[in-house]
Amino acid sequence: LPDGSLKDQINSLADKIQFPLTKLFVVDGSKRSGHSNAYMFGFRRNKRIVLYDTLISQVTEEELCAILGHELGHWARGHTAFNFCFTQAYFGAAFFFFSLCFGSVGLVHAFGFDDSERPVPAIVSLILFFGTLWEPFDKAITFLMTMHSRKCEYEADEYSVKLGFGQQLQSGLCKINIENLGALSPDRLYSTYHYSHPPLTERLSAMMALDSKMK
């Protein structure tokens, strides 16, 4: 990101919350689509922030800082670290239970692989396990993680609002939701199960309620 007002504001925000920002990058996402996004990566004291050029063009500098305040809220509240650890534990558990079923003759025979003279390839056992035995657990865990993700989004919104970006975050989210062709008011049950982010209308209501409490 070139030197200028936006870079100064982002560095000031990082210093305010003690985020160890070392570099700022801009991705030329406009070459592929109009989708806008921002994210961060890095370990310990070496963090980077990446901005899509589409995001920079779609919102004001204050709104962009508000959106970054939301993203930094995930870091401050430990959401990123939790998701990383949970993912490792999930795959560890999945492959542990697969190892218990790997030699199961009944599992492969149930799907027609009953030729005792031809060993069943490991990839076939893997597909059968994850497509049958593990599937109910995966659906349940996915739903719980979706609910957790939605809770994290509200917490990150709250973090940005408490930084003083309430109005800017609301207007910024409205702009990028329109540009990204997001659904403003999807079916409640469908979005609860499938959407990792709450609908925009619900997030705006929560932020306006928080704004009222803070005044």
Report, as residue numbers or ranges, the catalytic residues: 71, 157
For residues 153 and 195, the answer to whether their CB atoms sit within 8 Å is no
Contact between 67 and 55 under an 8 Å Cβ cutoff? The reply is: yes
Distance CA 176, CA 173 (A): 5
Task: Return the residue matching tokens 């709250």.
Answer: 158
Residues 196 and 199: their CA atoms lie apart, in Å, by 9
Closest CA to 4 of 46, 45, 64, 54: 64
Question: Which residues does 156 contact at the CB level (< 8 Å), separation at least 6?
Answer: 70, 71, 73, 74, 77, 79
Under 8 Å between Cβ of 214 and 165: no
- Residue whose structure tokens are 């921002």: 38
Q: Determine the Cα–Cα distance for residues 134 and 54; give it in Å rounded to an integer.
A: 40
